[in-house]
Amino acid sequence: MTERFQTVGNPLLEDPKMRVRNASVFYADKQAIFDVDLDIGKNQVISMIGPSGCGKSTFLRCLNRMNDTIDICRVEGQLELDGQDINDRKIDVVELRARVGMVFQKPNPFPKSIYENVAYGARIHGLTDNKVQLDDLVEQCLQRCGLWKEVKDRLHEPATGLSGGQQQRLCIARAIAVNPEVILMDEPCSALDPIATATVEELIHELSQNFTICIVTHSMQQAARVSERTAYFHLGKLIEVNDTSKVFTNPEHQLTEEYITGRIG
């Protein structure tokens, strides 16, 4: 084994929402993440940046056990949500994923109506008692995502008929309908045009008042715009974590500096 890499900056926080210690991820025999220590603060936006293949998406998927769906993938280390170990085989992933929601890179609404997309999570988790409450919840979530005005007359039309940006906002509405504590976003804007991107970024900013958000992005401008802290990954190692302004103006590690000035990536 190579000597353990020491992350520079401030990876640790006091009273974090999620605490990650010594996390390593293996695809069969190949190690994709090396001993990551990271704390994720309550109601904060943290962005993960880094060149392609550096493991930032893999790391994100550890946080709600989505890596379970990949047979050959193995996660080691200690991952905690409010002090509770989530990497424990015995934990109920259904409950975990209700608390830690996810928005994917490509908008993936269910091929059902707009209403059904948002209502689905509430239905399976039994969050509402009757149709009126469910209608209220759907309206509320769509409104928070700024989608209500655009879709209120076509709630029962297929969600796949929406534009890319609208679909992605619908996916976010669907995620918050379950009322999670943490929302993971895996490059949520990479399939969107700049205008739709701006809308989603605004939305992230608003949501950060009530939710803890981890966002993986390829765009450093986006990271700078939406997040309070930034983590830089390189070849499976967490190189540097710090306040966003610090990372982009005064990076401590040479690799970080090379990346943000455009020499890597």
Partner 1 sequence: MSDRKDIALRRAESLQKRHAAETRFRWYGRAAISFGMLCIVFLFTDIFSKGAGAFQQTYIDMEIHFDPEVLGLTPQSTPAEIEQASFGSFFKKALRQQYPDLTSRKEKRQLYGLVTSDMPLTLRNQVMAEPSLIGTTKSIRMIADDDIDVYYKYSYGRDNEDGTSVGRATELQQSIVAELAQQGRIGTRFNNTFFTAADSREPELAGIKGAIVGSMLTLMITLIISFPIAVATAIYLEEFAPKNKLTDFIEVNINNLAAVPSVIFGLLGLAIFINFFGLPRSVPLVGGLVLSLMTLPTIIISSRAAIKAVPPSIRDAALGMGASKVQTVLHHVLPLALPGMLTGTIIGMAQALGETAPLLMIGMVAFIVDVPASVGDSATVLPVQIFLWSDSPERGFVEKTSAAIMVLLTFLIFMNSFAVWLRKRLERRW
Q: Is 64 in the site for partner 1 (CB under 8 A)?
A: yes
C-beta neighbour count of 170 within 10 angstroms: 25
Structural Rg of the chain based on CA atoms: 19
Q: How far is the CB of 43 from partner 1 (least distance, A)?
A: 21
Q: How far is the CB of 206 from partner 1 (least distance, A)?
A: 21
The answer to whether 202 touches 235, Cβ cutoff 8 Å, is no
Q: Is 2 in the site for partner 1 (CB under 8 A)?
A: no
Contacts for 232-235: CB closer than 8 Å, 24+ residues apart: 232/48, 232/49, 232/50, 232/256, 232/259, 233/48, 233/49, 233/50, 233/54, 233/55, 233/56, 233/59, 234/50, 234/51, 234/54, 234/259, 234/264, 235/53, 235/54, 235/55
Q: How far is the CB of 265 from partner 1 (least distance, A)?
A: 26
Nearer to partner 1, 125 or 218 (CB): 125
The interface with partner 1 within residues 96-135 (CB under 8 A) comprises 96-98, 101-102, 104, 106, 108-111, 120-121, 124-125
Q: Is 3 in the site for partner 1 (CB under 8 A)?
A: no
Q: How far is the CB of 12 from partner 1 (least distance, A)?
A: 28
Which residue type does 244 have? T
Q: Is 225 in the site for partner 1 (CB under 8 A)?
A: no
Q: How far is the CB of 84 from partner 1 (least distance, A)?
A: 16
Q: How far is the CB of 117 from partner 1 (least distance, A)?
A: 9
Q: How far apart are CA 121 and CA 137, in angstroms?
A: 11
Query: Which pair of tokens denotes residue 46?
Result: 């943290």
Q: Which of these segments, 11-19, 88-96, 144-152, 212-220, binds partner 1 (CB under 8 A)?
A: 88-96
Number of residues binding to partner 1, judged by CB under 8 A: 27
Residues contacting residue 120 through CB under 8 Å, at least 6 positions apart: 110, 112, 174, 177
Q: How far apart are CA 193 and CA 207, in angstroms?
A: 21
Q: Is 5 in the site for partner 1 (CB under 8 A)?
A: no
Q: Is 95 in the site for partner 1 (CB under 8 A)?
A: yes
| Interface positions with partner 1 (CB under 8 A) | 64, 66, 69, 71, 94-98, 101-102, 104, 106, 108-111, 120-121, 124-125, 158, 160, 171, 174-175, 178
